[in-house]
Structure 1
Amino acid sequence: MNVVQRISLAHGEGGELTHRLIRDVFIKAFGSNESKQLDAAFFNSPTKKMAVSTDSYVVKPIFFPGGNIGKLAISGTVNDLSVCGALPLIITVGFIIEEGFPLGDLKEVVQSMATEAETAGVKIIAGDTKVVEKGNADGLFINTTGIGLVRDEWRLNPDTVQEGDSVIVSGTIGDHGISILAARKELGLITEVASDCASLNRLIQELLHELDGIRLMRDPTRGGLATTLFELCEDFHFTVELEETSIPVRRDVHGACDILGFDPLYLANEGKVVMIVNAAQQQKALEILKRHPFGKDAEVIGSITSCKNPSGKLLLRTPIGTTRRLHRLSGLLLPRIC
């Protein structure tokens, strides 16, 4: 008997099922590109190299501590362009609105988008609106496309990653995931953790302006820090060893994870960047990060231990001195987190 395969919520979680869906459905139909697992694709205009990124936001709940779906849509698009070494310039937005959605809530979301765009220095230049019958959109969904300019002096090159390079994260991990879970009020979790939702382009531009040893950057959103680094290891064939005691995690995020059985390494972040940097420049990178409010908790969390492997590996050195291998997020952790 033929079993009909169907999409599950886990296919949208950013882990192993998402990877298979992209590989077996979308890449099979549309083909791959040079960007691999980067967050934007590149194309050439007549005079400049440009980057483009598109994303859809379906976070539940729409309003959460530290932001809302509108702020998230703008900052997420800005960050996807920025971590690829692009200067974000323009964004288009599309709204799918459920019949009955409060107009006041829509105005608040749209105003937050305008405010975040102004903060990030980008322009919202075009958009589209669709309204669907009640029960068909869960309130509000937002799609964005962002375009940025790739500056020659900012170009990142994964092929330059070398053994001994440092892995740095710009701050505490898991804040967004725990904030969203608490805002749902489904498990009785009470916490003051707010989402780290923020546009990081100013911070990233300072890093790229002052350092020439940044090899690669990503923002560890769906699937968290572990999934993001695993994908880089797999795509670019190097091995990363993380020091668990060096990874910054808020005490209340640790506490929530202990209660709920979650691993903060796999929780979503919406205002952090993880980067691979020439070891000789790690101290300067930390100095730049720590002078910025979005980078004050930055830490060196690991290093590249080998390069040019047929298949890369992500390893975690535990406080007791053992080492375990990390993989993509498997299954469903937190659905609808972005």
Structure 2
Amino acid sequence: MNPKSAIKGRGAQRNVHNRFFELSHEMRDDFLEFCHKEGEQADKNKTLYLPVFPKTIVNKVTSPDVGMLYSMNMYQGCEHGCIYCYARNSHEFWGYSAGLDFERRILVKKDAPKLLEAQLKKKSWKAQPIVMSGNTDCYQPAEKQFKITQQCLEVFLKYKHPVAIITKNALILRDLELVKALAKDNLIVVNISITSLSETTRRILEPRTASIKKRLETVKTLSENGIPVNVMLAPIIPSINSHEILPLAKSASEHGALSIGHTLVRLNGAIGEIFSDWIKKTLPDRADKVLRQIESCHGGTLNDSRHGTRMRGEGKIAEQIHNLVKLARQKYFKDKRMPRLNGGLHEQFKDGQLKLF
């Protein structure tokens, strides 16, 4: 990657056109060269936190490919900067780019705890696990400042409602006592995403996430405190981390995880362009090979929107990946099981206190 134009600490290396906008702008090479010669910054690379005020926070998930019925997202956009993230496209609905804007324009929903409480108190609401976060990481760097996820966990505990967490950040350990209290009544499961055991790979794929060592330590700490943990080997990217499936599974099991899950990378919407630009700059020696192998898993295209196959893929490479995951489960998780979350307590606590009759 050209050091003059590289944007440090970010996954995407540019903004791409928002499909909902008629006009677009670009950062020209001659402008970048001018800034370099003049010793000026073409891009200050700052993260902005922008408050938004949605009317609801719990979303019904209709996709048949996702194993959840309801999700909630305290933040839109994610500073972790994972280059492959399927959530990038959602930033276009807010008027931003799926590229750098997704990592640097973080929309903050400060009213999320209040909105969640209103949802759980509805007479019509029947307890179903709600996943934090189905889209962007609920423990991304913004959470250290705003503590919205922490406040939402307090709401789940108050109303004895089941919740699942997906994160790749060790910041969850800040809320260990809350998570332990929820686990006592079988009200929580935690999904920790670990895509590689290599720090070099982690840094280029997921530049602002917790280190692999910290994530494995998080799995161990949670497990030792009686909190069920599933490790997500997601996404599996051919010729980048596909060779790590067995060692990843072994390490996850040794640190106390009860199960593993996986998805095959899919570069839907604008992500195909963002990922292609990134890999040609970051891993030019294998870029064409990786892109061709991804296409071979998705009917010859990077952008696979077909329900049933878009997250699993098809073809020989996808089949090899699924067989390796199956072998990993048999080898390292044969006698382990994730518990079913308890949805039977919430009705008694719907008004925030225990009912006697």
Question: TM-score range with shorter-chain normalisation?
Answer: under 0.3
* Larger relative strand fraction: 1
Higher relative contact order (CA 8 A, sep 6+): 1
Higher alpha-carbon Rg: 2
- TM-score, reference length from structure 2: 0.25
* Larger relative helix fraction: 2
